[in-house]
Structure 1
Amino acid sequence: MLSVLYEDSDILVAVKPAGVESQSARGFAKDMVSEIRRYVTIQARNPQNIHKLTTLSSKGQGKNQPPYVGVIHRLDRPVSGIMVYARNQKAAASLSSLMQQGKMEKWYKAVVCGKPVDNHGVYVDYLRQNQGENRSEIVDKSAAGSKRAELSYTAEASTERCDAGESREYSLVRIRLLTGRHHQIRVQFSGHGTPLYGDDKYGEKTAPGQPDLLALCAFRLSFPHPVTGKRMEFEMEPSGGAFEWFKENPS
């Protein structure tokens, strides 16, 4: 069932589970746009909610058209976290502009293999996307197609786990994403020697019998409301997979 954190006539903020596409998916795969449309349709048909929700048709839409759901930003399919969607085109344009201006703040938590050299730091790299292989890589600034990627991080805790008879260290890291590049967090942490746990694409395969959920969650989102300008802030606690290690044995 869709976990909605906030809704009004202009925006809807919800939690995207890991494994669900953040935009419309092909075939029968589960996606957030379809889930939100289903949710809005059910809510609008409930007489108790008529006073607080808009009707199914947005301005300029026919009555038989599905509810408008504007995708403003994206999370990779394996990533869980908080997302905001627009309920009409005007709100979508405003939110997109706010994001381009850097006024939408996105924070993540991740479990990485090993421990960053510094407890607090900033990574600035240049990434190039290979669309054919759905991968990105760190390249020289002068390389064709390179784009600047920046994030800041804080290592919050560490723990040791026994993997296949070998003790290994893992760290819980809080990340402020300052640019939005393809697979940015995954590529940069891997490139700096601490790949994300469960990241088979940029790290290493998890040990047999262990959960291989990608340990990355967009746990905090902050932005001005596209109509009122009021600062909206939402936060969740990452759970499942490697995140549970730090609830059991924080240090």
Structure 2
Amino acid sequence: MKILFEDNHLLGIEKPVNVPTQEDVSGDPDLLNLLKADIKERYQKPGNVYLGLVHRLDRPVGGAMIFAKTSKAASRLSEAVRSRNFDKIYVAVVRGTPPQAKGRLIHHLLKDERTNTVSVVPKGTPSSKEAILDYSVLGASSLDNELTLVRVELLTGRSHQIRVQMNAIGCPLYGDQKYGVAQNKPGQQIALWSLYVGFPHPVTTEHVKLISLPPRELPWNRWEEELYTKALTQS
């Protein structure tokens, strides 16, 4: 597993696709326990290893992700998330073209725990949560004009947020078998990638930047790598 950042307080990695972030009903090996085992082996640590989960990525999503190696770091990073001092930038390949080249999406989302699905509901719906993201179009595919590469910056962290909100404007994610099943084929890998995670270090307060570029395979390789790098500085 590619390590993007590590010190005594933090562990930043590139999450592989199709690995659950934490233990779930599938019983498949999960990222949290895999990393604990890795730390235990690399540092010959006796007993249990602490690793705090600060944010999550859906199972089929890959890219930059940070974990806390101490409870103090976990608490301070969680506070950074709550105070929106924790930046998360994604790239996604969507079907169709968003109605505007850039914009802010605000929806209210309700999760059905029984089916693990999220839907857009009217404001004020009991148990619903406000979801906000900013998006901008990076470019259309020269090989398939039905595909568009977008940059997404999350301002809230709701379950399945990007997938549901982009689908709500008529642009389901490439490969999304849950929210874009009518336009995607079975077996296609969802095209959503955690490009950047940035936050103040919980101890030193220096700004930590984790960067992970998507793999050079379909559909990501339909755009030049420089475009992904450009997305890091675009506002």
CA contact (8 A) 1:160 1:169 kept: no
The residue type paired with residue 16 of structure 1 is K
- CA distances 1:23-59 after superposition (whole Å, capped 9, x unpaired): 23456512111221222123214xxxxxxxxxx2xxx
The residue type paired with residue 57 of structure 2 is L
| Residue number among 184, 190, 197 corresponding to 1:206 in the alignment | 184
The match for 2:19 is: 20
CA contact (8 A) 1:186 1:195 kept: yes
Is 1:185 the equivalent of 2:184?
no
Is 1:104 the equivalent of 2:92?
no
Q: State the TM-score, normalized to the length of structure 2.
A: 0.89
The match for 1:35 is: 34
The residue type paired with residue 184 of structure 2 is T
- 136-145 vs 223-232, which moves further: 136-145
SS at match of 1:95: helix
In the alignment, the residues of structure 1 paired with residue 112 and residue 96 of structure 2 have an alpha-carbon distance, to the nearest angstrom, of 27
Q: How does 1:1-251 map to 2 (within 5 A)?
A: 2-25=1-24, 28-45=27-44, 56=45, 63=46, 65-159=47-141, 161=143, 168-204=145-181, 206-207=184-185, 212-239=188-215, 240-247=217-224
In the alignment, the residues of structure 1 paired with residue 185 and residue 35 of structure 2 have an alpha-carbon distance, to the nearest angstrom, of 36
SS at match of 1:12: strand
- 222-231 vs 29-38, which moves further: 29-38
SS at match of 2:8: coil
Identity of aligned residues (%): 35
C-alpha displacement of 1:160: 5.1
In the alignment, the residues of structure 1 paired with residue 64 and residue 195 of structure 2 have an alpha-carbon distance, to the nearest angstrom, of 6
CA RMSD of aligned residues (A): 1.8
- CA distances 1:163-196 after superposition (whole Å, capped 9, x unpaired): xxxxx51100000000111111000000100000
In the alignment, the residues of structure 1 paired with residue 70 and residue 118 of structure 2 have an alpha-carbon distance, to the nearest angstrom, of 33
Alpha carbons of 1:134 and 1:26: their partners in 2 closer, same or farther (altered >3 Å)? closer
In structure 1, stretches of 5+ residues that fail to align are 46-55, 57-62, 163-167
- 32-41 vs 151-160, which moves further: 32-41
In the alignment, the residues of structure 2 paired with residue 169 and residue 24 of structure 1 have an alpha-carbon distance, to the nearest angstrom, of 36
Q: Which runs of 4+ in 1 moved over 2 A?
A: 24-28, 204-208
CA contact (8 A) 2:135 2:151 kept: yes
SS at match of 1:241: coil
- CA distances 1:50-109 after superposition (whole Å, capped 9, x unpaired): xxxxxx2xxxxxx4x221111111111001111111111111111111111111100000
SS at match of 1:182: coil
Q: State the TM-score, normalized to the length of structure 1.
A: 0.84
C-alpha displacement of 1:11: 0.6
In the alignment, the residues of structure 2 paired with residue 129 and residue 238 of structure 1 have an alpha-carbon distance, to the nearest angstrom, of 28
Alignment length, in residue pairs?
A: 224
Alpha carbons of 1:150 and 1:38: their partners in 2 closer, same or farther (altered >3 Å)? same
SS at match of 1:213: coil
The residue type paired with residue 203 of structure 1 is G
In the alignment, the residues of structure 1 paired with residue 133 and residue 9 of structure 2 have an alpha-carbon distance, to the nearest angstrom, of 30
CA contact (8 A) 2:65 2:210 kept: no
The match for 2:230 is: none
Return the index of the structure with the highest Cα Rg. Answer: 1
